[in-house]
Structure 1
Amino acid sequence: MSDMLRAPAEIKYADELDYLESIDTGPKPFSWRLSPRMVRLFILGSEPSDGLDREIPQKWFGDRSFVERSIVTLASDRGLLLIGDPGTGKSWLAELLAAAICRNSTLVVQGTAGTTEDHIKYSWNISMVIARGQSREALIPSPIMTAMEQGVIGRFEELTRATSDVQDALISILSEKYVAIPELDEDNIVFAKPGFSIIATANSRDRGVNDLSSALKRRFNFVRIPVVANKRSEAEIVRFRTSELLRRHRIELEVPPSLLDILLQSFADLRAAAASAKSDEERLESSLSTAEQIGVLEDAILHSHFFGDRTLRPETLAGSLVGCLARRSPEDLAILNKYWHGVVEPRGREGGPWQEFLEGGRQALATLS
């Protein structure tokens, strides 16, 4: 893991997965490495009532029903589509599901405007084709085709970012469970092995970019992941991700609970303001997701570690918040100025960390204005 900037979940949590597999006596669909109950336990964490010899920490924070419905969908060999706002943990949940089910979460296609049908099916090694003609040896399978051949989970990130013809290439794969290779005379069909399925993610804010056809929608079970509205759950997510950051960078720095409360409250205030805004010009361009909240805290921690006295202070957090959220000028700057004068300033008059947060934000806004 020390040689990887970011280890996939099956490597990062290999010890846990080995342990769960060794004690798993439940029924397993297809060629799954863990039973559905153990998949859920791996993702949501263990409880004393589970009677395990070791604790399994929670890795995804959200409603249990979303995880259970996702697992049931994959056990039925239907495609799973996780849809929601940016930063709601869709990709992380997809990675954890694939890691627990088949110990391989890396068979991923990233949906973009440049994604082609070759990324879904296959392409050719041109040098081999010129030298010896088209053959199975000269074929380069896509991550999805590789998942079909191995009977494991393939992932498709940002499905609605891909064009309609690329999306349509998934229809036959999800319904017929095979890919034809018309260029070959023999051995020209790749059949999916039991256990193959696709987990796709889609950003609900991308609606209208490349809408899914009704035929493709019928081949997916939808699980909508909402924005985390519970302050306690959001605090747990931020703590979990922050502790991972500190371990990865080998940083010994404490995040004071008072500063975490300020961060959570600031995002809650800005979300409320965005909800009551009458136009996009009155809303921050940021989606104000939990992921962006983690990004603000990460920025402040690294700044404190490398350029400060290795103590996280309110003014550093305020500067990171302004720097991360002020993307448009002058619109976002005006919104943040209004928030600082109308909400943060009254709290800052009471003294304490809010006062330092107020001053740090003022300096950051003055620099950007």
Structure 2
Amino acid sequence: MSEMLRAPAEVTYADELDFLESVDTGPKPFSWRLSPRMVRLFVLGSERADGLSREIPQKWFGDRSFVERAIVTLASDRGLLLIGDPGTGKSWLAELLAAAICRNSTLVVQGTAGTTEDHIKYSWNVSMVIAKGQSRESMIPSPIMTAMERGVVGRFEELTRSTSDVQDALISILSEKYVAIPELDQDNIVFAQPGFSIIATANSRDRGVNDLSSALKRRFNFVRIPVVTNKRSEAEIVRFRTEELLRRHRIELDVPPTLLDILLQSFADLRAGAASATSDDEKLESALSTAEQIGVLEDAILHSQFFGDRTLRAATIAGSLVGSLARRSPEDLAILNKYLHGVVEPRARKDDDGWAGFLDGGRQAIASLS
């Protein structure tokens, strides 16, 4: 684990998964490693009423009903499609579910404009085909086919980024549960084993790029993941991810609650401004998601660690915020400058509490980019 830049969930939380498996007495669908109740507990954390001898921390912060519906879908023979705005935790939830169900979250296809049907089904080792001809030995199974053969969960990230003909390759997999290999005369069908399922994610902002066909939609259960708007829940997500970041980088640095409140409030202010905007030119190009908040805080922490005095300050957070959100020039810079003068400056005059430093840091960052 220490040699991995980022360990998958089944490695990071191996001790928790081992413990839950050892005390799990509930019914398990197919070849699942944990029962649905324990899968939910792994994702959402334990409570005193669960009666466990150790605490299981919460890893995904959202409505319990979304997680329960996702688990029930995976216990059926339908695919699961997690859809929502960027930064809502779709991929993280998919990884946690796969880790809990089959202890393998790495069988992933990444949807892009360059994704082909081979990435979903199989391809060939050309040198082996030339030497020995086409056979199962010279075939390279895709992550989805590997998941079928093992009876585990396969993942398809950003499904709507791939073209329609590539998407439609999933239809037969989700309905017939097998893949035919017409190039072979014998042993030419790969059947899905019990426990196989697919978790796909889709960005709601990609609507219209490559819409799913009606046939494919019928084979997925949709779970829509909303943007986190509850300030307390968002603070928990940012704090959880920040602690994980500090452990990964072996950084000992305190994140004062006051500075976290400033970050959360600044994003809430900018979202409110975007909601009241009458044109796209008055909105930041950024989605202002929770994931982007985490990115801003990560940038500020690393800057403080490597180029500062290892103390996180409001000015550093403001500089990171401007650097992360100012993607268009001059439009985004003008929006951020208006926010600093119209909202942050009066707040800094009325009650400092870190806002004065945030204002100074923001102004310096904008000046350097202008």
Q: TM-score, normalised by structure 2?
A: 0.99
Kindly report which structure 2 residues correspond to 1:226-265, keeping only aligned pairs within 5 A, or say none: 226-265=226-265
Deviations along 1:279-319, one digit per CA (max 9) or x if unpaired, are 11111010000000000000000000111110001111110
Whether the 8 Å CA contact 2:157–2:200 is kept in 1: the answer is: yes
Equivalent position SS for 2:54: coil
Matching residue of 1:58: 58
Deviations along 1:25-57, one digit per CA (max 9) or x if unpaired, are 000000000000000000000001111010000
Matching residue of 1:119: 119
State the 1:243 CA deviation.
0.3
Structure 1 residue runs of 4 or more that deviate by more than 2 Å after TM superposition: none
Matching residue of 2:135: 135
Matched residue type, 1:103: R
For structure 1, the 5+ residue unaligned runs are: none
Matching residue of 1:220: 220
State the 1:352 CA deviation.
3.0
Matching residue of 1:357: 358
Deviations along 1:154-206, one digit per CA (max 9) or x if unpaired, are 00000000000000000000000000000000000000000000000000000
Q: Distance in 1 between matches of 2:2 and 2:363?
A: 40
Equivalent position SS for 2:137: helix
Q: Distance in 1 between matches of 2:83 and 2:279?
A: 24
Question: Alignment length, in residue pairs?
Answer: 369
Matched residue type, 1:76: S
Q: Distance in 1 between matches of 2:73 and 2:45?
A: 20
Answering whether residue 296 of structure 2 is matched by residue 308 of structure 1, we say: no
Matched residue type, 2:294: I
Whether the 8 Å CA contact 2:318–2:358 is kept in 1: the answer is: yes
Q: Distance in 1 between matches of 2:100 and 2:35?
A: 9
Kindly report which structure 2 residues correspond to 1:35-184, keeping only aligned pairs within 5 A, or say none: 35-184=35-184
Equivalent position SS for 2:42: helix
Q: Distance in 1 between matches of 2:201 and 2:304?
A: 35
Whether the 8 Å CA contact 2:316–2:361 is kept in 1: the answer is: yes
Q: Distance in 2 between matches of 1:140 and 1:367?
A: 51
Q: Distance in 2 between matches of 1:137 and 1:223?
A: 38
Provide the alpha-carbon RMSD of the alignment. 0.5
Deviations along 1:48-96, one digit per CA (max 9) or x if unpaired, are 1111010000000000000000000000121000000000000000000
Q: Distance in 1 between matches of 2:148 and 2:345?
A: 58
Equivalent position SS for 2:224: strand
Deviations along 1:209-240, one digit per CA (max 9) or x if unpaired, are 00000000000000000000100000000000
Answering whether residue 272 of structure 2 is matched by residue 272 of structure 1, we say: yes
Answering whether residue 351 of structure 2 is matched by residue 368 of structure 1, we say: no
Equivalent position SS for 1:61: coil
Q: Which moved more, 1:80-89 or 1:357-366?
A: 357-366
Equivalent position SS for 1:210: coil
Whether the 8 Å CA contact 2:123–2:139 is kept in 1: the answer is: yes
Matched residue type, 1:123: S
Q: TM-score, normalised by structure 1?
A: 0.99
Whether the 8 Å CA contact 2:258–2:353 is kept in 1: the answer is: no
Q: Distance in 2 between matches of 1:159 and 1:277?
A: 30
Matching residue of 1:9: 9
